[in-house]
Structure 1
Amino acid sequence: MFDTHTLVLAAKGVSHWDNSFDALIVRWDGDVVNIPTDGEAEWRTNSEEREVIVERTEETNGLKVTVAALVELNVKVRAIGEHENKVHNYQLPADDAFAHLETQFKFTGLTNLVEGVLGQTYRPDYVSPVKRGVAMPMMGGEDKYQTPSLYSPLCNQCRFKGKAGLSSI
């Protein structure tokens, strides 16, 4: 969520993983966005606040998203393989495929007061409370960031005001 908009990047549920199937979902303010696979292979919008570009980096399951003056991110949908299943003890059924989003972020224009589950890690004085060396490290502090729904800006530490205001990440 940023400015007055919501951009959703998600992975479709699949019963059998196939690299030729595009499992990425992109939604802009609730509407599904189809990213072309030919030509420029991109979708863009120039809202009142800033330009947003979503471009394919691979024929399927790979995108680069640029939100002007805010963030650049690379997103890939990856199948959770046997190794990840064992390491993280997901206990996935043999007759189903699960996928996750692999993401890389590059933020621009963050303040030293950035907050959030991910955001706080960008503070210059940040010290991680995570216990290293465990199979699935947990940060804790969920009471600070628990929200009534996925797209709600309401939580104990939230600074984003959603459509009512013009705050950013």
Structure 2
Amino acid sequence: MVDCVTCKPVCKCDQPGAVCQDPRFIGGDGLTFYFHGKKDRDFCLVSDPNLHINAHFIGTRNENLTRDFTWVQSIAVLFGKHQLFLGPLKTSTWDDSEDRLSLAFNREPLYLPEKEGAKWQSRNAPGVSITRVSDSNSVTVEAEGLFKITAKVVPITQEDSRIHNYGVTKDDCLAHLDLRFKFYSLSNQVNGVLGQTYRPGYVSRVNVGAKMSVMGGDREFRTSGLFAADCAVTRFTGNKATSAEDSMAAFELPGLSCASGMDGRGVVCKR
């Protein structure tokens, strides 16, 4: 992306709401932290009364470390009475031109033409759409007034594996997702690994001065399955919040665009 204010290129993984790499998060407060979770487990990224997002983590184990190398392999988005799935297909040898993205809405598989700009629009949920950002492996998912998610399938290359000792094998390149989230109507009670950083008055509990600021909380954010909203901090009810005190959705907020990338309804830009 190009920032039209500074006329400089900006990576989506360096903007608020990003979840990329190992997994590296940039919270709604603009601070960067890591949440490693555990491989082959599911964790809650965002939980709000009408929105719940879980992530499935994959990974490998380095005998010299006490933790797994992990990546967000797929996500499930629950909103209202709807369910959305995004994730890559298992891939051995990576080819950028071959689409490896799997999509489903309310448990029904979705198929988009492999062409940039191709768009799917839900008939049962007006305002829900999926659009290809490129011919393959990259889409934008939007629920009008609720969220916008940019997702791209990326592999772990043999060179990355050699440098970091990830242990990638020839039959699995560990394809996973780089993500960026934008939210338009979160309540003041939002929680989850990423969601809590959007809460008014939130104070980060990570050591921001550390070389790698790591957030714990495996137990409080763990769910029993990718489509389960049963983490210890869950807020999901499936119904839209109606309390003016607890929900920003109760207000008609203006939309602004900030150079920092923290744009959206109700955002205030400061020089």
Q: 1:68 aligned to 2:149?
A: no
* DSSP-derived class of the 1:121 partner: helix
In 2: Cα distance, 1:114 partner to 1:70 partner = 13
Q: 2:155 & 2:111 partners in 1: Cα distance?
A: 21
Q: How does 1:9-158 map to 2 (within 5 A)?
A: 9-38=86-115, 41-47=118-124, 50-82=126-158, 84-85=160-161, 89-131=165-207, 132-134=210-212, 137-158=213-234
TM-score, normalised by the number of residues in structure 1: 0.84
Taking only aligned residues, the RMSD between alpha carbons, in angstroms, comes to 2.3
Partners of 1:123 and 1:149 in 2: CA distance: 25
Cα distance in 1 for residues equivalent to 2:180 and 2:109: 22
Task: Report the Cα offset of residue 167 of structure 1.
Answer: 4.9
Q: Give aligned pairs, total.
A: 162
> Runs of 5+ in structure 1 lacking a partner?
none
Q: Compared with structure 1, are the counterparts of its residues 83 and 120 closer, same or farther at alpha carbon in structure 2 (3 Å cutoff)?
A: farther
Alpha-carbon offset, residue 127 of structure 1? 2.6
Query: Against the structure 1 CA distance between its residues 145 and 79, is the aligned structure 2 distance closer, same or farther, given a 3 Å change threshold?
Result: same
Q: Structure 1 residues 25, 95: CA separation in 2 closer, same or farther (over 3 Å shift)?
A: closer
Larger % of strand: which?
Answer: 2
Aligned-pair identity (%): 35
The answer as to whether partners of 1:160 and 1:167 remain within 8 angstroms in 2 is: no
Q: Match for 1:35: what amino acid?
A: L
| Counterpart amino acid of residue 199 in structure 2 | R
Secondary structure, in 3 states, of the residue corresponding to 1:77?
A: strand
Is 1:41–1:55's contact at 8 Å kept on the other side of the alignment?
Answer: yes
SS of match in other structure, 2:223 = coil
For structure 2, the residue ranges without an aligned partner over 5 or more in a row are 1-77, 242-271
